[in-house]
Amino acid sequence: MADEKDYTGQTPAWCPGCGNFSLLATLKKTLAAMDIPPHELIVVSGIGQAAKLPHYLRCNAFNGLHGRALPVATGISMVNPDMKLLVTTGDGDCYGEGGNHFLHAMRRNVNMALFVHNNQIYGLTKGQASPTSRQGMKSKTQPFGSLSSQFNPLSMAISQDCGFVARGFIGDREHLQHLMTEAINHRGFSLVDIFQPCVSFNKVNTFKWYKERVYHLEEEHDAGDRMKAFQRSLEWGEKIPVGIFYRHDNNRVLTDDLPPLKNGPLPLQDFDPQETTQILEEFY
């Protein structure tokens, strides 16, 4: 079995006390326990504190543009579905700038796990409201308070029948490891929205704030029941559930429907220009 140390990357440049440290540690533990060799793993990210993660992990990495991790991951998956594919991203990266890709990657059912480090704030750019910030939150760029209602990624994912919808909290590592493992194992697009307190800019949704509210969905929760899952995903207040809200294997995975993959991943298929010459015949 692999060791967590096998996944040690660069030294993180996060703030001391940042929730991302626990997240990273849990991810390493998960990967080690699942015995996924670093070179069979590709981690794609955008830009933000969360999106720096691939540098801090030993793996293949594509650290792309703010908001654009999912299309990159989609392209990778479509030509080489054999790689283990993760996307690590922030709430701004994924639900703000990248909102359209979030919707459409889900519809494509790309076979990958999406970990959203949800600190309800823009961390790297120093504290602006994000889509998951609470409505009315004031900041230096929200003089009237955040004017938008708080985005609910779980209910949206359930509304589009995403096959794996979960929420975790970095303050509960064992549970988070369980979610990460299940997400990676799930065949298809899996979303894990992870509460990750930002100690520098989010003075409301702190570790303590989450700790006080977070509770596990009951064992009896039937993750196969879409209506129930939807209902539970709407809970937000003094108590906030974490766990696997919704889960099923009903949907076709994107790469199921790609005939060119029948002979294996495209990068492994040879190309011989000679075999294409007939293509000009139709012009005569």
Partner 1 sequence: MDYSIRIAGEAGQGLQTIGAALGKIFSRLGYHVFTHQDYMSRVRGGHNYYQIRLSEKAISASRDVIHILVALNIESIDMHRLSLHSDGIILYEPQNDEEEEDEQFLATAFTQIAKDAGGNKIMANVVAVGAILGLFGFDLQVAEEIIKESLAKKSGEIIEGNLKAMQAGSDYVRKNCRKLDRFQTVEAEQDNLMLINGVQAIGAGAVMSGVRFYAAYPMTPSTGIMVYLAGKAVDFGIIVEQAEDEISAINMALGASYAGIRAMTGTSGGGFALMTEGVSLAGITETPIVIAEMQRPGPATGLPTRTEQSDLDFVIHGGHGEFPRVVLTPGTPEQAFYAANKAFDLAEKYQIPVFIQADQYLGDTEWTYRDFDLSDLSYKDYRLRHKDLAELKDYKRYAVSSDGISPMAVPGESRHLVVVDSDEHDEDGHIIEDAETRIRMFDKRLHAKMERLRKEISPPVLYGERTAPEIILVCFGSTYGVIREAVDILGKDYSLAMLHFSEVYPFPALNEFDYADYLRKARSTVCIENNATGQFNRLLRAEMGIACSSRINRYDGRPFTLESLVEEIRQRL
Ligand X SMILES: Cc1ncc(C[n+]2csc(CCOP(=O)(O)OP(=O)(O)O)c2C)c(N)n1
Tokens of 244: 């696997």
Where in 186-215 is the site for partner 1 (CB under 8 A)?
Answer: 200-201
Does residue number 152 form part of the binding site for ligand SF4 (CB under 6 A)? no
Per the document, the length of the chain is 284
List CB contacts of 85: < 8 A, sequence separation 6 or more.
41, 42, 44, 73, 76, 77, 110, 111, 112, 113
In this structure, what token pair is assigned to residue 78? 């479509």
Please, how many CA atoms are within 13 Å of residue 193, restricted to the half-sphere of its CB? 27
Judged by the rule CB under 8 A, the positions of this chain that interact with a second copy are 98-100, 103-104, 107-109, 131, 135-136, 144-145, 147-149, 151-152, 155-156, 158-161, 226-227, 230-231, 233-234, 251-252, 254, 257-259
Tell me if 47 contacts ligand X by CB under 6 A.
yes
* Partner in contact with 159, chosen from partner 1, ligand X, a second copy, none, beta carbon below 5 to 8 Å by kind: a second copy
Residue 182 lies near ligand X (rule: CB under 6 A): no
Residue nearer to partner 1 on the CB measure, 1 or 227 = 1
Q: Which of 152, 200, 206, 251 binds ligand SF4 (CB under 6 A)?
A: 200
Residue 259, token pair as written in the block: 């005939």
Query: Closest approach of Cβ 121 to ligand SF4, in Å?
Result: 7
Of the pair 77, 120, the CB lying nearest ligand X is at 120
Are the beta carbons of 41 and 83 closer than 8 angstroms?
yes
Q: Which residues of 234-252 are buried (b: 16+ CB within 10 A; e: fewer)?
A: eeeeeebbbbbbbbbeebe
Show contacts with partner 1 in window 96-115 (CB under 8 A): 96-97, 99-101, 103-104
Q: Nearest distance from residue 122's CB to partner 1, in Å? A: 6
The contact mask relative to ligand X for 73-112 (x = CB under 6 A, - = no) is -----------------xxxx-------------------
d(C-alpha 234, C-alpha 141), whole Å: 28
* Nearest of 67, 270, 101, 276 to residue 189 by alpha carbon: 101
Select from 2, 15, 32, 33 the one that contacts ligand SF4 (CB under 6 A).
15
Interacting residues with ligand SF4 between 94 and 113 (CB under 6 A): none
Distances (CA, A) of 250 to 74, 160, 181, 228, 245: 20, 13, 20, 17, 16
